[in-house]
């Protein structure tokens, strides 16, 4: 290990603490994403993103409660010892991560087992392990109903039990953990994140190599020739792509029959255009598989997707509304604006850009938007979907109302973003502004239902989950995920005001290079459509976080948006390409997916 690592470790608050945190690392990245919708700073001129230390603490607590709950419930469901339950869990986890799991089970297992055997619930266990902490003057946060003796009494008792346990002293240093081949990589990444004060969201697998270049990060998989910067999707073809595919749409070469370039034959005058998504976590399509925490159905199969999910930061862009292209394996089905636009005109193949990020709001989009790549002179026009559907009113602050974007700020942010777009988008582009969602839908449809963690014993409702996250100040939206109806109403009121700002901008502002439209977030129609198909409204919400739209909601929303555009603004979608079948016959799937 590099020497800087040990000094780094000591700078963190005691290495035991660090090590304990590792226990939750299997779940940590997902929790960071689930519970924090606003890692980016609020405001127009965001400094480099950083993670408030309180947030990290909150997520550690959520992670611990989650893992301990799963262990506890596995033991209960299989009528086994806690130790056996931990081994079972480690067995389910893909081999790559198993070594890690066993090390942790070996070290922390005995304490957790001892506490669970004495009927301490996950809240008590995590508080006594100090993975959940009570801030001075703040309430004790808990997910489960408190034990009969009271939560603080139970925690005191648990702490006494742990203190007498000698195992705890047999602690292995953090750096020795880093010597495990499997963990070395993980250590490197944590080190990198801490050193560069990056948000822990970026604590992740593959993308790390490219992280420092924002371009590489946002542009992953976009280019079809990384070595040649003049080759990229969306550009107008170079000499009709006679020799090579300069715009990555899979169409190039010359038809031997008549000597004409295919690109010219099939795509000339076809109104080719790209799709750009400027948005938030709904666009990022965040999803945590509920199988990871439903012990009654848990098996090795439940975790088969774990390594892949981690590599993709738990987003599933391959199934998402805008960039989805694979059949969904996470329920529902795949539909996307990009897919439909490509089906309409196969010359649009691969021309998509996604500039969405968890926490995207009107303010920090001004910063994200800089990563838009469109050359005004060389490229085709684009359809830009501007969809920050909640983060302007959603935050985890105790004083959530005071931290919401005001209509005045909204106006300024959005107009600024549009001016920027006007300076970057090729003439003939289109911008669609999407209104904010009415998040009362979440509480109304979920609050008394059981969360996946609460289904076995009927002891955790979404209402409890929301309160727990709120208490830890990691709620993705304190204003909507709350029992306080007045507050929910006020949040919706602000959301409506902000949507009206967008509507007014679309009505009154004019730009040189694009026309502009507004549409309400199609929640009502989505719910209606789903009801007609025999579905229930709660199925439109991600079961684990109780906040994001589900795969079903995404796919339905796409089709509603498409229909609206088709009927009201057909010019936005361009015409159908009569050569689609020929393109498919010659170039098959056109590659790149």
Judged by the rule CB under 6 A, the positions of this chain that interact with ligand NAG are 79, 218, 228, 230-231, 238, 244, 246, 277, 283-285, 313, 315, 317, 320, 322-323, 326-327, 354, 356-357, 401, 427-428, 484-487, 489-490, 512-513
Contact 112, 68 (CB under 8 A): yes
Q: Which of 222, 74, 65, 211 is nearest to 144 (CA)?
A: 65
Shortest Å distance, C-beta 485 to ligand NAG: 4
Q: Is 362 exposed, middle or buried (0-12, 13-18, 19+ CB in 10 A)?
A: buried
Look at residue 154 and give its three-state secondary structure: helix
What is each CA distance from 297 to 87, 88, 329, 430, in whole angstroms?
17, 13, 17, 46
Annotate 257-284 with b (16+ C-beta within 10 A) or e (fewer). Answer: eeeebbbbbbbeebbbbbbbbbbbbbbb
> Which CB, 80 or 461, lies closer to ligand NAG?
80
Shortest Å distance, C-beta 277 to ligand NAG: 6
Distance, in Å, from the CA atom of 269 to the CA atom of 298, rounded to the nearest integer, reads 54
> Which CB, 164 or 486, lies closer to ligand NAG?
486
Contact 169, 20 (CB under 8 A): no
Shortest Å distance, C-beta 227 to ligand NAG: 7
Shortest Å distance, C-beta 169 to ligand NAG: 31
Shortest Å distance, C-beta 99 to ligand NAG: 28
Shortest Å distance, C-beta 479 to ligand NAG: 8
∠ CA 141-144-147, rounded to 5°: 95
How is residue 231 written in tokens? 């080759």
> Which CB, 69 or 246, lies closer to ligand NAG?
246
Tokens 């100090």 belong to residue: 130
Distance, in Å, from the CA atom of 527 to the CA atom of 524, rounded to the nearest integer, reads 5
Shortest Å distance, C-beta 385 to ligand NAG: 10
> Which CB, 4 or 489, lies closer to ligand NAG?
489
> Which CB, 30 or 64, lies closer to ligand NAG?
30
Shortest Å distance, C-beta 377 to ligand NAG: 11
Distance, in Å, from the CA atom of 216 to the CA atom of 200, rounded to the nearest integer, reads 18
Query: What phi and psi, each to the nearest 5 degrees, are found at residue 230?
Result: -90, 0
User: Which distant-in-sequence residues (6+ apart) come within 8 Å of 194 by Cβ?
Assistant: 8, 12
Contact 57, 267 (CB under 8 A): no
Distance, in Å, from the CA atom of 372 to the CA atom of 114, rounded to the nearest integer, reads 54
Spacing of C-alpha 332 from chain mean position: 18
Instruction: Supply the DSSP string of 158-175, one letter for each residue.
Output: HHHHHHT-GGGG-PPPHH
Shortest Å distance, C-beta 112 to ligand NAG: 20
User: Which distant-in-sequence residues (6+ apart) come within 8 Å of 292 by Cβ?
Assistant: 70, 298, 302, 303, 306, 544
End-to-end CA distance of the chain: 39
> Which CB, 176 or 228, lies closer to ligand NAG?
228
> Which CB, 59 or 285, lies closer to ligand NAG?
285
Distance, in Å, from the CA atom of 333 to the CA atom of 419, rounded to the nearest integer, reads 36
> From the DSSP assignment, how many helices (H) and strands (E) are in the chain?
24, 5
∠ CA 325-360-516, rounded to 5°: 75
> Which CB, 510 or 567, lies closer to ligand NAG?
510
Spacing of C-alpha 202 from chain mean position: 11
Contact 370, 354 (CB under 8 A): no
What is each CA distance from 215 to 115, 207, 336, 382, in whole angstroms?
48, 11, 24, 19
Q: Which of 359, 383, 355 is nearest to 215 (CA)?
A: 355
Following CA atoms 294, 299, 301, 303 in sequence, which dihedral angle do they give, to the nearest 10 degrees?
Answer: 60
Q: In 351-406, where does DSSP find H-type helix? A: 362-368
> Which CB, 357 or 558, lies closer to ligand NAG?
357
| Active-site annotation, residues | 281
> Which CB, 325 or 579, lies closer to ligand NAG?
325
> Which CB, 140 or 231, lies closer to ligand NAG?
231
């Amino acid at each position: 290990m590099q020497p800087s690592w040990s000094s780094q470790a000591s700078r963190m608050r005691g290495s035991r603490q660090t090590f304990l945190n590792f226990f939750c690392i299997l779940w940590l990245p997902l929790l960071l994403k689930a519970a924090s919708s606003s890692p980016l700073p609020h405001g127009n001129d965001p400094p480099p993103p950083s993670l408030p230390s309180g947030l990290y603490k909150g997520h550690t607590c959520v992670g611990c409660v989650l893992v301990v709950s799963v262990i506890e419930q596995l033991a209960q469901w299989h009528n086994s010892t806690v130790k056996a339950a931990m081994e079972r869990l480690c067995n389910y986890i893909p081999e790559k991560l198993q070594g890690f799991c066993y090390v942790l089970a070996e070290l922390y297992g005995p304490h957790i087992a001892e506490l669970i055997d004495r009927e301490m619930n996950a809240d008590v266990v995590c508080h006594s392990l100090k993975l959940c902490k009570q801030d001075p003057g703040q309430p004790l946060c808990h997910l489960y109903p408190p034990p009969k003796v009271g939560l603080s009494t139970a925690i005191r008792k648990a702490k006494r039990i742990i203190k007498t346990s000698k195992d705890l002293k047999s602690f292995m240093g953090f750096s020795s953990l880093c010597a495990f081949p499997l963990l070395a990589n993980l250590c490197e990444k944590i080190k990198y994140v801490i050193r560069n004060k990056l948000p822990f969201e970026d604590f992740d697998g593959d993308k790390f190599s490219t992280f420092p270049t924002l371009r590489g990060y946002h542009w992953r998989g976009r280019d079809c020739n990384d070595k040649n910067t003049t080759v990229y999707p969306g550009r107008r073809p170079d000499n009709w792509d006679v020799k090579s595919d300069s715009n990555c749409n899979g169409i190039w070469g010359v038809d031997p029959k008549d000597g004409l370039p295919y690109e010219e034959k099939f795509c000339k005058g076809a109104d080719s255009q790209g799709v750009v998504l400027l948005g938030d976590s709904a666009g990022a399509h965040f999803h945590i598989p509920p199988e990871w925490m439903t012990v009654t159905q848990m098996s090795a199969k439940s975790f088969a997707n774990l390594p892949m999910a981690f590599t993709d930061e738990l987003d599933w862009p391959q199934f998402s509304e805008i960039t989805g292209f694979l059949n969904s394996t996470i329920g529902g089905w795949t539909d996307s604006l990009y897919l439909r636009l490509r089906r309409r005109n196969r010359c649009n193949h691969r021309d998509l850009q996604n500039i969405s990020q968890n926490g995207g709001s009107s303010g920090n989009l001004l910063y994200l938007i800089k990563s838009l790549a469109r050359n005004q002179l060389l490229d085709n026009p684009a359809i830009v979907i501007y969809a920050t559907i909640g983060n302007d009113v959603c935050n985890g602050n105790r004083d959530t109302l005071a931290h919401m974007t005001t209509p005045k700020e909204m106006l300024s942010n959005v107009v600024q973003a549009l001016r920027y777009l006007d300076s970057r988008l090729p003439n003939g582009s289109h911008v669609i502004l999407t209104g904010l969602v009415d998040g009362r839908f979440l509480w109304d449809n979920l609050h008394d239902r059981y969360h996946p963690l609460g289904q076995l014993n009927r002891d955790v409702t979404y209402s409890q989950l929301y309160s727990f996250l709120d208490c830890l100040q990691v709620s993705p939206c304190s204003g909507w995920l709350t029992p306080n109806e007045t507050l929910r109403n006020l949040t919706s009121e602000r959301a409506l005001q902000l949507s009206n700002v967008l509507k007014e901008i679309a009505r009154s502002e004019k730009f040189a290079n694009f026309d502009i439209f507004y549409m309400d977030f199609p929640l009502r129609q989505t719910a209606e459509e789903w009801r007609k198909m025999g579905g229930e409204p709660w199925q439109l919400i991600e079961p684990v976080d109780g906040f994001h739209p589900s795969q079903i909601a995404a796919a339905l929303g796409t089709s509603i948006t498409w229909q609206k555009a088709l009927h009201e603004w057909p010019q936005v979608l361009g015409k159908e390409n009569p050569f689609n079948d020929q393109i498919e016959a010659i170039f098959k799937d056109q590659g790149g997916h």
